Amino acid sequence: MPRRHRMVLTSGLAADYEKRTVDKGGEVRQACRIYRDARGRTRVEGTLNGVDFAMLSDFELGRMALVDPLTGAPIPTVSEPIPSPMSRGAVAAPNPPRVEELGERRMEGVVARGMRYILDSETVEVWTALEFDQPPVLVHVTGPGREETERLYNIRLEDPDPTLFAPLD
């Protein structure tokens, strides 16, 4: 497998995120908004159990905050974990997956490099933008009776408004 290089994001990122899962039980869609500034701080805005939230992280300083996205007021701990968008990444399994390079193509306005990981009955396709490494632009998983797609769209490579990260300061 080719070595992964950590790419430096010289500007920020703002994008919409969608996760779509289809199985015998039907179709489920989740959506949120993702921001990352040039300092590496992240903000994920979404709704969980009817509560709007913004989860902010500054891993360099070891700070996290869960706040109301409109007021910035802290939100009490929720009863279930907040999903982490685009968290799947490569397949982790006891047997190494077969890996295929898919080349490069333009997706959502950015050039992305694709890799396919095949293990037993599951296939994971990951497209990572050359301008930034995380989150991937597209993750597509297929397995018996199940299909899952996570994608970024409306991608803007610019620093988000600094006030979005004020609760971390």
Task: Tell me the per-residue pLDDT of 120-167, one tens digit each, with 9 for 90 and over.
Answer: 899 999 999 998 877 899 999 999 999 999 999 999 999 999 999 998
| Six token digits for residue 132 | 């930034």
Q: Where are the domains of the chain?
A: 13-168
Angle at 40 between CA 35 and CA 46, to 5 degrees: 25
How far apart (Å, rounded) are the C-alpha atoms in residues 30 and 122?
A: 22
Per-residue model confidence (pLDDT) at position 75: 87
CATH fold of 13-168, please?
outer membrane lipoprotein receptor (LolB), chain A (2.50.20)
Give CA–CA dist 12/70, Å, rounded: 21
pLDDT at 3 over 90: no
Tell me the pLDDT band of 77, cut-offs 50, 70 and 90: low
Which one, of 155, 159, 148, lies nearest residue 111 by Cα? Answer: 155
